[in-house]
């Protein structure tokens, strides 16, 4: 989901025209149509014509990341940055690929640079926040999540994942009311997503209100859209039903969880 | 906070800063753990380091046994640098290496150690678990041991899985027949010839556990004649495939039978409820301890199953890898339920940046609340990813009235701040001064002995049990201490604490300002109880089970 956001919302339309740009524009169109092999061929053609064409290099990096070839992505982005050190998007993707590879110091360095070059990009704020959180800088992370939400609000496109990232950190910090506000807003933003309902269920459980946790957890389970796996929802529902004294329902969810958990089945 | 301070003042508890002095070299402990890492990124290299605190010669001073690695890929102890080592405590603050005389150098790539008197002869025996070899050493007395593995049937060869890689092990009497049984926690299927490659040519690293198949744990029932029967399948234990790390025992539901918790690496952990009829039911999900509160597994490592909030019920703490946060589950004492208490106790955030290995709840300042010590280090080769050195200092969290944990590591002494690849840890009062000390192994490095030098303003009591109908060491017995001010403190006898390690069997209590206890009540395995009254503090009380 996050990857998809990063890939979809950072795209540029090249304004200039040249043989290289034309090839890049075709590749970009194919990328948007999910024709990845054709897009890769198009990018290769664009880079043959213009080896330092930055949009083509960033598109190549995104295609490489989608194929789990982070080495190729990194190399492409280094070329892009060398060609245009002021390209915030190349910097952002450079940091993003480090983040995806769990190389947090390098991710932080690149994302800080991307933020310097374009302080109004919500994705750079979000991922810099995530990288900060991963290295234990929770206050800095929370500040950036808030900023990412502000920037998305300003752009009119607030994302569920951004709101829930903030909600999860609030929960970790024990700021339950703030977590609830973010999660409720996420639920309104995308009523079809299970993820906000799952977070709301966690919040209600923390508030020792198992009946509401059950309502939200069951709602999450009914919805298909979102990143939260059934396993996590079942575990939460086991706790909620147990807390409510409804052991039979808890047992059903425990069994469902074990069924999903192939690792623990007898061999 | 004000209420806690007021309570402390009212009870006259001295709030001393917990402090340690690192004295391994001074004490003659020159053990070096060798993992045989040679750039091939074999998974087994990451995991060693079990250590046991045991009194093998019954002189009242806790001795030490260290497990060690072996050559890779032969998995043989090709030289003395790979020997497991036994150090005798001379009771004068120093130790001597008696490995050769005792005949306990071992064979194979060793990991776990579990010390207890399995044959009820009054002498502590040693079980060693490892990658390719398990060993049971019977203590013959006179400082000598015999390898009785084959006769005992504890080589650990499973009919389906063969010899599995054992990480931790522990002794407990699951059927309350007065003889200790053995639980072995097994990790993953591993073959040196088929080690998966992770990372790329420029930056290879150790693979995630998901690259390996999980395996079942094992349970061996003591036949009372020096032999054991593998009851892993009939008990239900083997039906659950995990990636077992630390193991700990406690009677969490108060039914008189000890239960088992196994911390699993990156899959859900197991809580085996002892049904009391020779079988176990895995109830980790139902109890709420199988996963983190958000339903995600952590890289579970060490575990302790002990009462931290003085409500008389054993709680659970589990160490994890960086960004997991440690798990702390409070036993609610009703319907087998636990609550996730890590965030509320303040333990979650400070432990998120840590990778924790062995750990233990012990009252290091004897203020009446069990504190938390954790051996800490990240995985080698991950420095680039974390932006931190793999070598890290350990952590000590002070228990504030059972409500929260406070990281008091920075003031725990200069030796405590030194970073290393800390792994195994065993807890015991090595110098018999009433303060719990800690021995910690370091990966491919020297051992550390943290002598507890906390200002000794508070009083303490330790109980050494001698079972007669129960197992000789009284493992599994629950000890209650009732103080004049009405406080009840509870502990149980176990040597299975932390990760791959084994601690002293004594049940220890910090008493704060109390110079005596009104009553000690021992609940022996099987349900019999006995009491002592008006016991003076600051000593080890020997309690023999009345027949």
How confident is residue A260, by pLDDT bands cut at 50, 70 and 90?
A: very high
| Mean pLDDT value across residues B296-308 | 97
For residue B141, is it left (φ>0), alpha (ψ between -120 and 50) or beta? left
Confidence of residue B456 (pLDDT cuts 50, 70, 90): confident
* Interval B314-323: pLDDT, tens: 999 999 999 9
- For residue A232, give the nearest of B288, B294, B386 by CB distance: B294
- Would you say residue A5 has pLDDT above 60? no
Q: What does the pLDDT look like over A135-194, one tens digit per residue?
A: 889 999 999 999 999 999 999 999 999 999 999 999 999 999 999 999 999 999 999 999
CA-based nearest residue in chain B for residue A169 = B349
Which tops the pLDDT comparison, A12 or A56? A56
Chain B residue closest to A229 (CA)? B295
| Total structural domains within chain A | 1
Give per-residue pLDDT as tens, B327-344: 999 999 999 999 999 999
Minimal-distance CA residue of chain B relative to A137: B353
Per-residue model confidence (pLDDT) at position B1? 45
Residue-wise pLDDT for A164-173, tens only, equals 999 999 999 9
Question: Checking DSSP bridges between strand B244-250 and strand B241-242, what pairing results, if any?
Answer: unpaired
CA angle B428, B430, B433 (to 5 degrees): 100
Q: Are B171 and B495 in contact (CB under 8 A)?
A: yes
Pairing between β-strand B539-544 and β-strand B459-466 as defined by DSSP bridges: parallel
Helix ranges restricted to H, chain A: 2-9, 19-32, 36-49, 54-66, 70-83, 88-100, 104-117, 122-134, 138-155, 160-172, 176-189, 194-206, 210-222, 230-243, 247-260
Q: How far apart are CA B105 and CA B110, in angstroms?
A: 10
pLDDT at B204 over 90: no
Of B286, B384, B388, the CB nearest to A103: B384
Size of interface A-B (CB pairs under 8 A): 79
Residues B414, B416, B420, B425, Cα dihedral to 10°: 160
- Taking the CA of residue A267 and the nearest CA in chain B, the distance in Å comes to 8
Q: Is A11 helix (H, G, I), strand (E, B) or coil?
A: coil
Interface of A with B (CB under 8 A): 71, 101-106, 108, 134-136, 138, 168, 171-174, 202, 231-236, 238-239, 242-243, 247, 250-251, 254, 257-258, 261, 263-267
Residue A49 lies in a domain: yes
Question: What is the reported pLDDT for B514?
Answer: 96
- Check CB contact under 8 Å for B385 and A243: no
| A182 occurs within a structural domain | no
* Interface contact flag, A104 B160, Cβ < 8 Å: no
Q: pLDDT band for A1, please (50, 70, 90 cuts).
A: very low
* DSSP β-ladder status, B125-130 and B135-141: antiparallel
Minimum Cα–Cα distance from A202: chain B residue: B294
The three-state secondary structure class of B450 is strand
CB contact under 8 A, A266 and B343: no
Please list every residue in chain B whose beta carbon sits closer than 8 Å to the beta carbon of residue A105.
Answer: 384, 386-387
- Please tell me which of B3-12, B197-206, B527-536 the model is most confident about, judged by mean pLDDT: B527-536
Q: Do A102 and B349 touch (CB under 8 A)?
A: no
- CB-count burial class (<10 Å; 0-12, 13-18, 19+) for B182: buried
Q: Any idea which of A25-39, A111-125, B361-375, B414-428 has the lowest mean pLDDT? A: A25-39
What is the Cα gyration radius of chain B?
21
B43, two tokens: 């998974």
pTM: 0.93
The secondary element (H helix, E strand) that includes residue B13 is: none
Question: Please, what is the average pLDDT of chain B?
Answer: 95
What local confidence, expressed as pLDDT, does residue B14 receive? 64
Contact B421, B391 (CB under 8 A): yes
User: Which region among B85-89, B453-457, B541-545 has the lowest average model confidence (pLDDT)?
Assistant: B453-457
> Does a structural domain hold residue A8?
yes
Residue with tokens 């034309």: A22
Find the helix packing angle between A160-172 and A176-189, rounded to 10°: 160
A135·B353 Cβ contact <8 A: yes
Residue A184 located in a structural domain: no
Region of B162 (left: φ > 0; alpha: ψ -120 to 50; beta: rest) is: left
CB atoms within 10 A of CB A9: 14
Under the banding of pLDDT at 50, 70 and 90, the label for residue B383 is confident
> Looking at the domain assignment, is residue A37 inside a domain?
yes
**In this model, does residue A266 exceed pLDDT 70?**
no
Q: Taking each helix axis as running N to C, give the angle between helix A104-117 and helix A122-134, from 0 to 180 degrees, rounded to the nearest 10.
A: 150
Dist CA B228 CA A144 (whole Å): 59
pLDDT at position B79 is 97
pLDDT-derived band at B68, boundaries 50, 70, 90: very high
Query: How many angstroms away from the CA of B351 is the closest CA of chain A?
Result: 10
At residue A262, the pLDDT reads: 67
Percent over 70 (pLDDT), chain B: 97
CATH number of A34's domain: 1.25.40.10
- Measured between beta carbons, which residues in chain B are less than 8 angstroms from residue A261? 267-268
**CA-wise closest residue to B187 among B226, B163, B214, B206:** B214
- Asked if residue A2 has pLDDT above 80, the reply is no
Q: What is the pLDDT of residue B97?
A: 98
Q: Do A202 and B291 touch (CB under 8 A)?
A: no
CB contact under 8 A, B387 and A135: yes
Confidence label for B200 from pLDDT (cuts 50, 70 and 90): confident
What percent of chain A has pLDDT above 70? 92
**Each residue's pLDDT tens digit, A40-86:** 999 999 999 999 999 999 999 999 998 889 999 999 999 999 999 99
Residue A20 falls within a domain, yes or no? Answer: yes
ipTM > 0.85 for the complex: yes
The model's confidence at residue B357, banded by pLDDT at 50, 70 and 90, is very high
Backbone angles phi, psi at B199, to 5 degrees: 85, -160
pLDDT band at residue A11, thresholds of 50, 70 and 90? Answer: very low
Burial grade of A241 (CB within 10 A; 0-12, 13-18, 19 or more): buried
Cβ atoms B227, B151 nearer than 8 A: yes
What would the two tokens of residue B21 be? Answer: 């002095």
Q: Does A219 reside within a domain?
A: no
Per residue in B476-490, pLDDT (tens digit) is: 999 999 999 999 999
Say which residue, B10 or B293, is predicted with more confidence: B293
Nearest to B349 among A104, A138, A263 (CB): A138
C-alpha distance from B236 to closest chain A C-alpha (Å): 10
User: With the C-alpha atoms ordered B157, B162, B165, B170, is the resulting torsion angle positive or negative?
Assistant: negative
Q: How far apart are CA B302 and CA B262, in angstroms?
A: 9
Mean pLDDT of A244-250: 97
Which of helix, strand or coil describes residue A196?
helix
Q: What is the DSSP string of B147-210?
A: E-HHHHT-S-EETTTEE--EEEEEEE-TT-SSS-EEEEEE-B---GGGPPPEE-SSSEEPPPGG
User: In terms of residue numbers, what domain contains A6?
Assistant: 1-84
Q: Cα(B269)–Cα(B290) distance, rounded to whole angstroms? A: 4
C-alpha dist (Å) from residue B479 to A55, A252, B307, B311: 71, 37, 12, 13
Is the pLDDT at A129 greater than 60? The verdict is yes
Nearest CB to A265 within list B241, B323, B335: B241
Predicted confidence (pLDDT) per residue in B211-269, tens digit:
999 999 999 999 999 999 999 999 999 999 999 999 999 999 999 999 999 999 999 99
Instruction: Output the pLDDT for position B12.
Output: 57
Contact of B25 with B399, CB cutoff 8 Å? no
Is A27 within the bounds of a domain?
A: yes
Q: Is the per-residue pLDDT at A90 higher than 80?
A: yes
Write b or e for each residue in B406-436: b if 16 or more Cβ atoms lie within 10 A of its Cβ, otherwise e: ebbbeebbebbeeebbbbbbbbbbbbeebbb
pLDDT value at A15 more than 90: no
């Amino acid at each position: 989901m996050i990857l998809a956001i990063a890939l979809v919302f950072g795209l540029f339309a090249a304004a200039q025209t040249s043989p290289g740009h034309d090839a890049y524009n075709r590749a970009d169109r194919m990328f948007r149509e999910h024709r990845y092999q054709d897009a890769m061929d198009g990018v290769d053609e664009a880079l043959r014509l213009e080896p330092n064409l930055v949009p083509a290099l960033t598109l190549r990096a995104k295609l490489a990341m989608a194929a789990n070839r982070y080495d190729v992505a990194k190399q492409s982005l280094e070329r892009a940055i060398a060609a245009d050190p002021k390209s915030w998007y190349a910097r952002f993707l450079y940091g993003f690929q480090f983040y995806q590879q769990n190389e947090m110091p390098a991710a932080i360095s690149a994302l800080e640079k991307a933020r310097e070059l374009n302080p109004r990009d919500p994705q750079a704020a979000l991922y810099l926040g995530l990288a900060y959180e991963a290295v234990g800088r929770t206050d800095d992370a929370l500040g950036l999540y808030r900023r990412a939400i502000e920037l998305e609000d300003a752009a009119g496109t607030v994302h569920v994942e951004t709101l829930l990232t903030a909600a999860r950190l609030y929960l970790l910090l024990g700021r339950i009311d703030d977590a609830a506000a973010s999660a409720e807003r996420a639920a309104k933003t995308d009523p079809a997503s299970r993820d906000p309902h799952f977070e709301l269920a966690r919040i209600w459980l923390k508030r020792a209100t198992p009946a509401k946790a059950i309502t939200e957890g069951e709602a999450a389970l009914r919805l298909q859209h979102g990143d939260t796996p059934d396993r996590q929802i079942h575990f939460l529902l086991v706790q909620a039903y147990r807390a409510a004294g409804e052991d039979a329902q808890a047992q059903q969810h425990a069994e469902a969880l074990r069924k999903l958990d192939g690792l623990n089945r007898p061999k | 906070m004000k209420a806690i301070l007021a309570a402390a003042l009212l009870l006259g508890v001295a709030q001393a800063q917990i402090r340690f002095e690192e004295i391994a070299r001074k004490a003659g402990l020159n053990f070096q753990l060798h993992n045989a890492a040679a750039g091939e990124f074999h998974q087994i290299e990451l995991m060693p380091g079990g250590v046991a605190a045991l009194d093998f010669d019954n002189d009242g001073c806790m001795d030490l046994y260290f497990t060690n690695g072996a050559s890779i890929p032969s998995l043989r102890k090709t030289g003395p640098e790979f020997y497991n080592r036994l150090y005798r405590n001379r009771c004068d603050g120093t130790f001597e290496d008696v490995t050769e005389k005792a005949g306990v150098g071992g064979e194979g790539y060793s990991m776990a150690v579990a010390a207890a008197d399995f044959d009820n002869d009054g002498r502590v025996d040693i079980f060693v678990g490892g990658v390719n070899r398990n060993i049971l050493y019977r203590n013959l007395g006179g400082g000598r041991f015999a390898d009785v593995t084959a006769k005992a049937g504890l080589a650990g060869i499973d009919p389906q899985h063969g010899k599995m890689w054992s990480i931790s092990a522990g002794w407990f009497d699951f059927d309350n027949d007065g003889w200790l049984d053995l639980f072995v926690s097994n990790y993953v299927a591993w073959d040196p010839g088929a080690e998966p490659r992770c990372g790329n040519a420029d930056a290879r690293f150790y693979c995630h556990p998901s690259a390996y198949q999980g395996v079942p744990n094992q349970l061996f029932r003591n036949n009372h004649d020096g032999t054991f029967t593998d009851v892993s399948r009939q008990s239900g234990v083997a039906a659950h495939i995990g990636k077992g790390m630390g193991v700990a025992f406690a009677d969490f539901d108060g039914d008189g039978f000890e239960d088992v918790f196994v911390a699993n690496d990156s899959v859900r952990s197991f809580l085996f409820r002892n049904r009391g009829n020779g079988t176990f039911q895995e109830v980790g999900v139902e109890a709420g301890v199988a996963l983190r509160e958000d339903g995600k597994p952590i890289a579970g490592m060490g575990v302790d199953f002990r009462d931290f909030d003085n409500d008389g019920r054993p709680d659970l703490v589990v160490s994890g890898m960086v960004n997991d946060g440690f798990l702390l589950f409070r036993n609610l004492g009703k319907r087998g339920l636990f609550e996730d208490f890590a965030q509320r106790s303040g333990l979650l955030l400070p432990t998120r940046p840590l990778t924790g290995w062995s750990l233990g709840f012990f009252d290091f300042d004897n203020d009446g609340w069990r504190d938390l010590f954790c051996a800490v280090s990240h995985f080698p080769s991950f420095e680039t990813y974390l932006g931190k050195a793999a070598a890290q200092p350990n952590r000590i969290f002070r228990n504030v009235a059972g409500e929260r944990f406070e990281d008091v590591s920075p003031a725990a002494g200069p030796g405590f701040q030194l970073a290393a690849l800390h792994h195994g840890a065993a807890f015991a009062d090595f110098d018999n001064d009433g303060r719990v000390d800690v021995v910690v192994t370091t990966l491919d490095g020297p051992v550390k002995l943290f002598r507890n030098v906390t200002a000794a303003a508070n009083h303490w009591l330790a109980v050494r049990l001698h079972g007669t109908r129960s197992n000789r060491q009284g493992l599994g017995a629950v000890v209650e201490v009732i103080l004049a001010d009405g406080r009840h403190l509870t502990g149980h006898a176990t040597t299975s604490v932390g990760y791959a390690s084994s601690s002293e069997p004594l049940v220890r209590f910090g008493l704060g300002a109390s110079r005596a206890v009104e009553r000690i009540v021992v609940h022996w395995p099987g349900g019999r109880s006995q009491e002592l009254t008006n016991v003076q503090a600051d000593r080890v009380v020997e309690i023999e089970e009345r027949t």
